[in-house]
């Protein structure tokens, strides 16, 4: 495992992070611990979760299962917490979670859920962090993300509370997720003005494919945000869903049924998928490994792929991308497709 610097902090973290979203729901302790053991054995240090993970897996749940499983793993593996760069997130818990589940027993209503985020007020953040620390069985987290952009709460209130967490030693660094570039600029300006700790990481959906033109979506990196990141090296991009639900390894028929690709639809995506397929054939790697190698080779901005999985074999395939060296010509073809 290689390491990379987080922002300009001097902190070295594993070049690939493990997303623990579904640990504790789609896995039991045995399966989750086995994956985490493999992650640690491979040199993985950057481990990401959130307090809301994963309420949607169990009707009646309010989340916290992932953090609870991680807490049990830390407790059962002496020294593991000290060797882990641990990030979690707050603000995306759901108020009145029962109201987002339909009476007929179907899937939760995500539009309704997004209207019930608890948000980023100081009291909510305080309760959220304290609950996360209890579940994780630790006295601090290394990186604390604001999970959703709460525009009903003044940024000053949110940032002052995050600064208090850092001063108290409960959080080492702060980050933001699912936020637009202009809000990042406001956050940075307020931090400079008040002397508050500024975000060192941005967690957004980001992959090799480019979002479709005209899409209004604040969670997927766009050209403006890329430009912002390229000129602000103090922010490292932590890219969630970098493999788009396995899209790069799917057949054309399977891709047609991949709901994540709707946000990327168009001839530009057809061209990029063809380029990935061709270079995968040339290298003998999978399409996913080609994309991870492309992301890992980027320095402006620096990208840390966040691989979310519950399976050891999928984690192993992702880590193998660290050994794939694309040629300059192959990277150029991918860039220009």
Detail the DSSP E strand segments found in 254-323.
Answer: 303-308
Q: Which helix (H) or strand (E) holds 19?
A: strand 17-19
Kindly state the DSSP code that residue 197 receives in the 8-state scheme.
P
Average pLDDT of span 11-37? 98
Rounded Cα distance between 89 and 32, Å, is 20
Q: Are 326 and 285 in contact (CB under 8 A)?
A: no
Residue the block writes with tokens 């300006």: 189
Q: How confident is the model at residue 120 (pLDDT cuts 50, 70, 90)?
A: very high
Q: What percent of the chain has pLDDT over 70?
A: 100
pLDDT band (50, 70, 90) for residue 105: confident
pLDDT at position 104, please?
Answer: 85
Residues with Cβ within 8 Å of 46's Cβ and at least 6 positions away in sequence, in order, are 13, 14, 16, 17, 18, 85, 87, 304
Two structure tokens written together for 191: 């931090």
Stretch 208-230: mean pLDDT? 95
143 neighbors 86 (Cβ within 8 angstroms): yes
**In this model, does residue 289 exceed pLDDT 90?**
yes
Residue range 34-79, pLDDT digits in tens? 999 999 999 999 999 999 999 999 999 999 999 999 999 999 999 9
What was the pLDDT predicted at 78?
Answer: 97
Q: CA-CA distance, 232 to 93, in Å (whole number)? A: 30
Q: What is the DSSP-derived secondary structure letter of residue 210?
A: P
> Which letter does DSSP use for residue 43 in this model?
T
- For residue range 182-210, what is the model confidence (pLDDT) as tens digits? 999 999 999 999 999 999 999 999 999 99
- The mean per-residue pLDDT over the stretch 75-89 comes to 98
Contact 53, 66 (CB under 8 A): yes
**H or E element, residue 67:** helix 65-76
Q: How confident is the model at residue 218 (pLDDT cuts 50, 70, 90)?
A: very high
Domain ranges of the chain: 3-264+288-328
Give backbone dihedrals phi and psi of 308, rounded to 5 degrees, phi first: -95, 120
- What angle is formed at CA 169 by the lines to CA 168 and CA 171, rounded to 5 degrees? 110
Residue of 244, 239, 242 whose CA lies nearest to 226: 239
- Contact in structure between 326 and 294 (CB atoms under 8 Å): yes
Fold of 3-264+288-328: TIM Barrel (3.20.20)
3-state secondary structure of 305: strand
Q: Are 21 and 63 in contact (CB under 8 A)?
A: no
The mean pLDDT value for 146-173 works out to 98
Whole-model pTM over 0.85: yes
In percent, how much of the chain has pLDDT > 90? 98
Give residue-wise pLDDT tens across range 266-280.
999 999 999 999 999
H or E element that contains 144: strand 141-146
Bridge partners, residue 12, by sequence: 5
């Amino acid at each position: 495992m290689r390491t990379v610097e987080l922002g300009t902090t001097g902190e070295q973290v594993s070049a690939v992070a493990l997303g623990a979203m579904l640990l504790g729901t789609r896995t039991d302790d045995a399966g989750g611990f086995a994956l985490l053991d493999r992650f640690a054995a491979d040199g993985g240090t950057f481990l990401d979760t959130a307090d809301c993970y994963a309420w949607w897996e169990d009707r009646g749940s309010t989340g916290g299962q992932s953090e609870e499983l991680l807490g049990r793993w830390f407790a059962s593996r002496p020294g593991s917490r000290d060797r882990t760069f641990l990030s979690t997130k707050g603000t995306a818990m759901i108020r009145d979670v029962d109201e987002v589940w339909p009476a007929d027993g179907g899937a939760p209503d995500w539009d309704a859920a997004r209207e019930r985020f608890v948000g980023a007020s100081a009291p909510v953040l305080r309760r959220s962090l304290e609950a996360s620390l209890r579940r994780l069985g630790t006295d601090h987290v290394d990186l604390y993300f604001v999970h959703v952009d709460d525009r009903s709460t003044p940024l000053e209130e949110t940032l002052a509370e995050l600064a208090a967490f850092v001063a108290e030693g409960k959080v080492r660094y702060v980050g933001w997720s699912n936020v637009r570039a202009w809000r990042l600029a406001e956050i940075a300006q307020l931090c400079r003005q008040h002397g508050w700790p500024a975000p060192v990481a941005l967690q957004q959906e980001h992959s090799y494919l480019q979002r479709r033109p005209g899409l209004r979506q604040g969670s997927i990196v766009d050209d403006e945000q890329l430009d912002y990141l390229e000129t602000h090296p103090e922010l490292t991009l932590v890219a969630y869903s970098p493999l788009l639900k396995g899209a790069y390894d799917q057949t054309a028929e399977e891709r047609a049924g991949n709901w994540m690709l709707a946000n990327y639809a168009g001839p530009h995506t057809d061209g990029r998928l063809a380029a990935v397929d061709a270079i995968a054939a040339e290298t003998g790697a999978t399409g996913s490994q080609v994309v991870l190698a492309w992301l890992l080779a980027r320095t402006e901005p620096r990208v840390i792929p966040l691989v979310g999985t519950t399976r050891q074999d999928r984690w192993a395939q992702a880590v193998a991308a660290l050994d794939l060296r694309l040629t300059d010509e192959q990277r150029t073809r991918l860039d220009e497709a």
